[in-house]
């Protein structure tokens, strides 16, 4: 049985969650532990923390944050952003992260994926791919219409074909791919399901669709039309437009198997933390 996962994504800087998080009754809207516990209670299957700390000098606070989250929240979580070396990955995993996601550094030096996978296993290496549509008309060097990999938070085009890079990342040991459409990110127009479909067609590891969610139906579309195994969203959850439980109800009505949110209530009524 294939069970689709719903994954809220939290942006953090220097150990604090940033961007709006309109949970009612939080003591501290920026506390990653408190937020993670709330999402757990709602039925989130995993969490992604994206470290947007500008300076790598301040990453120690992120390691501390990972430690606190791992102490108190018992669902899997991934840490991405600024993982440039095996040592960066090691610190996050030792602090209690279940997976690390690599992006720019892996494009620049794909051996990084192999190094992390060799030490910790392929299951803890997520390759994040930021991709933007390109056409032959725009870029004569492309063999056909497709998607180009962008790095540095989506600012820098690489000339690399996203579908080809996805296949290489998996070959080198990525156990999962987090695929973000740069065209859709922030538009609320829905996932680029053709992008996720193009990638699921060439790899046999789980794919997380990301970028563009504006409604709960979009989450369902990512699974049914995009062929993704998991869907990632930030703003629709943070601003309390929708809960994870509502997302799962819509997905279930679309015929998608999800872990029932009620199972998250098992054995208690309050957040674990």
Partner 1 sequence: MTRPLVAVLDYGIGNLHSAQKALERGGADARLTADHGLIADADGVVLPGVGAFGACMDALRRCGLEQPAVDAAASGRPFLGICVGMQMLFTASDEDPDAQGLGVIPGQVMWIPPGPKIPQMQWNVLRLTKPDDPMFAGLGDEPWFYFVHSLHGVPDDAPIVAATVEYGTTLNAAFRLDNVFAVQFHPEKSSRPGLALLANFVGICARSGPTDVANREVTA
Q: How is 110-173 classified by DSSP, letter by letter?
A: THHHHHHHHHH-GGGEEEEEEEEEE-TTT-TTSSSSEEEEEETTTTEEEEEEHHHHHHHHHHHT
Tokens 């996978």 correspond to 117
Distance CA 230, CA 259 (A): 12
User: Minimum distance from CB of 143 to partner 1 (Å)?
Assistant: 28
User: Minimum distance from CB of 2 to partner 1 (Å)?
Assistant: 7
Residues marked active site are found at 11, 130
Q: Please compute Rg for the chain using Cα positions.
A: 18
User: Minimum distance from CB of 22 to partner 1 (Å)?
Assistant: 23
Contact footprint for partner 1 (CB under 8 A): 1-5, 40, 45, 67, 70-72, 74-76, 93-98, 120-124, 175-176, 204-206, 229-230, 259-260, 263-268, 272
Distance CA 147, CA 165 (A): 10
Cβ neighbour number for residue 71 with a 10 Å cutoff: 12
The closest of 165, 154, 161, 91 to 127, measured between CA atoms, is 165
User: Minimum distance from CB of 267 to partner 1 (Å)?
Assistant: 4
Nearer to partner 1, 55 or 263 (CB): 263
User: Minimum distance from CB of 161 to partner 1 (Å)?
Assistant: 22
Burial class (CB in 10 A: 0-12, 13-18, 19+), 2: exposed
Nearer to partner 1, 17 or 75 (CB): 75
Nearer to partner 1, 74 or 239 (CB): 74
Nearer to partner 1, 75 or 219 (CB): 75
Nearer to partner 1, 134 or 228 (CB): 228
Distance of CA 99 to the CA centre of its chain: 11
Distance CA 258, CA 270 (A): 22
């Amino acid at each position: 049985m294939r069970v689709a996962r719903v994954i809220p994504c939290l942006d953090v800087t220097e150990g604090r969650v940033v961007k709006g998080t309109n949970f009612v009754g939080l003591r501290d809207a920026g506390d990653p532990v408190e937020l993670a516990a709330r999402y757990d209670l709602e039925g989130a299957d995993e969490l992604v923390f994206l470290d947007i700390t500008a300076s790598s000098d301040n990453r120690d606070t992120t390691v501390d944050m990972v430690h606190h989250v791992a102490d108190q929240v018992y669902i899997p979580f991934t840490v991405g952003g600024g993982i440039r070396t095996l040592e960066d990955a090691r610190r996050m995993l030792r602090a209690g992260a279940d997976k690390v996601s690599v992006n720019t550094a892996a494009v620049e030096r794909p051996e990084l994926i192999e190094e992390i996978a060799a030490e910790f296993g392929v299951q803890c290496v997520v390759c994040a791919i930021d991709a933007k549509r390109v056409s032959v008309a725009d870029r004569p060097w492309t063999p056909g219409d497709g998607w180009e990999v962008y790095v540095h938070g989506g600012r820098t085009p690489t000339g690399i074909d996203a579908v080809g890079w996805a296949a290489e990342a998996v070959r080198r040991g990525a156990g999962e791919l987090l695929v973000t459409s740069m065209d859709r990110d922030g538009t609320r127009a829905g996932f680029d399901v053709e992008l996720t479909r193009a990638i699921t067609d060439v790899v046999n590891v789980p794919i997380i669709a990301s970028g563009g969610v504006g409604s709960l139906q979009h989450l369902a579309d990512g699974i049914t039309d995009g062929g993704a195994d998991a869907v990632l969203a930030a703003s629709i959850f943070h601003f309390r437009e929708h809960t994870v439980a509502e997302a799962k109800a819509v997905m279930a009505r679309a015929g998608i198997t999800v872990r029932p949110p009620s199972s998250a209530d098992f054995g208690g009524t309050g957040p674990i933390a």
